[in-house]
Structure 1
């Protein structure tokens, strides 16, 4: 829509109303600015203010610019309100996204904790009983069962990693704990191998040198079990801390968005 006028002897000016200008805004301009300009022109002509010596003649460009700015301000006010409403809608949509993301990260945190915490707690309890309380020992069956249980933890964690899209820093922590559990499983297998394998069988025979190496690796593996388990616990704590950091970050974002929505609410 274009509104053109020639007033107070000034060159023709043009006000352009954007496509977003609604009918109400256009009517407001026509009902306020244009009648005012017309009345001013009638008054000026009657008072002989269009002569070459009049102040209106001297400042006609400035007066025209002021009128144009006033008309532009009235025209863009509805656009400002519309932009504010669009921003409000965008913030509301982003809040829904962050809220869904927070629910998903909570669910993944729960899944990972269930995968690891139970078997790791039981394993550490046995170590504490043997090393600190002197109750029992690392029997062969426990070494084998613990190795099998932790192996399935590795399988579950690898499956989790392949199907989930966590933030990169969480994926790194997931990979760290997979590697540390895999190393612990390897130490458990090496520790129980000398007790379950035989040097001589019906269709095989292990040389004395190789058998001595198996026994040596088994003894070394038993010594490394405690350190390997501690590494798993540290990596698990780091993974949990990463999830908690992301959860807290999402909650902070939600609070910030809520404050913006309250301020920008059109209600």
Structure 2
């Protein structure tokens, strides 16, 4: 009986030995994987934490950009909308038909518009997305065109044919008077062009802030899944 048990034990041992021998490569590989996981787990967790921190920092940066963009757009609207409305009332009838603007009103409008958005159109040139920069350039050109037209209207009313440092010929003075007369009704068109450029800028700014909100929303989802 004891011999039988002993023989059975030896047989089992031999079977286990053969199994280990046959699968020793697999066993060794599995053991290596387990060891690598045990050793590498803290490293992978650190990498995950670092990625999460990077995402959080990126989100904070986008949030700052969004807040600055909204504040900048609001400041621009506050600065330009009311002066353009005033210019529209002076150069167009309520039905939209152009009305002649006088030299005094032209001078006052030009004075109000002069340098109005220099802080934004000049100082902050090249600091925003391409679409916004393009709209800023168009608004700058429209405002310059309006200012030149207003200047042509009021200039002969405040100056003579000759002065201390200039003297215009009769032909040159006639051209000045012609441009002044033309500008009285052309001012309405220039105001409309400025309004059109202003609306285009608002649209570009709104598109930019919407894109930032979408980026922030996507990051919030990623951060929620990662943490």
State the SS of the aligned residue for 1:165.
coil
- Superposition CA RMSD, Å: 3.0
- Give the superposition deviation at 1:61: 1.8
Match of 2:34 among 41, 66, 70: 70
- Give the superposition deviation at 1:44: 10
Q: Deviations over 1:229-265 (max 9, x none)?
A: 1111111111111111111111111211112222222
Q: Deviations over 1:115-136 (max 9, x none)?
A: 21121111112223377479x8
Q: 2:217 and 2:95 mapped to 1: Cα distance?
A: 48
Q: Give 5+ residue unaligned stretches, structure 1.
A: 1-42
Q: 1:90 and 1:261 mapped to 2: Cα distance?
A: 10
- What is the TM-score when the length of structure 2 is the normalising length? 0.81
Which residue of structure 2 aligns with residue 96 of structure 1? Answer: 60
Distance 1:155 1:93, change over 3 A: closer
Q: Which moved more, 1:114-123 or 1:181-190?
A: 114-123
Which residue of structure 1 aligns with residue 174 of structure 2? Answer: 212
Q: Deviations over 1:174-230 (max 9, x none)?
A: 222112101110011112233333336799764321221112222232342222111
Q: 1:152 and 1:69 mapped to 2: Cα distance?
A: 70
- What is the TM-score when the length of structure 1 is the normalising length? 0.70
Please list, as runs of the form range in 1=range in 2, the aligned pairs for 1:35-184 lying within 5 A after superposition. Answer: 47-49=13-15, 54-129=18-93, 132=96, 137-161=100-124, 165-184=127-146
Q: 2:208 and 2:163 mapped to 1: Cα distance?
A: 55
Structure with greater helix share of residues: 2
Task: Identify the structure with bigger relative contact order (alpha carbons < 8 Å, sequence gap 6+).
Answer: 2
Q: Deviations over 1:111-156 (max 9, x none)?
A: 221221121111112223377479x852221011111111232544
Q: 2:10 and 2:53 mapped to 1: Cα distance?
A: 49
Please list, as runs of the form range in 1=range in 2, the aligned pairs for 1:198-209 lying within 5 A after superposition. Answer: 198-199=160-161, 206-209=168-171
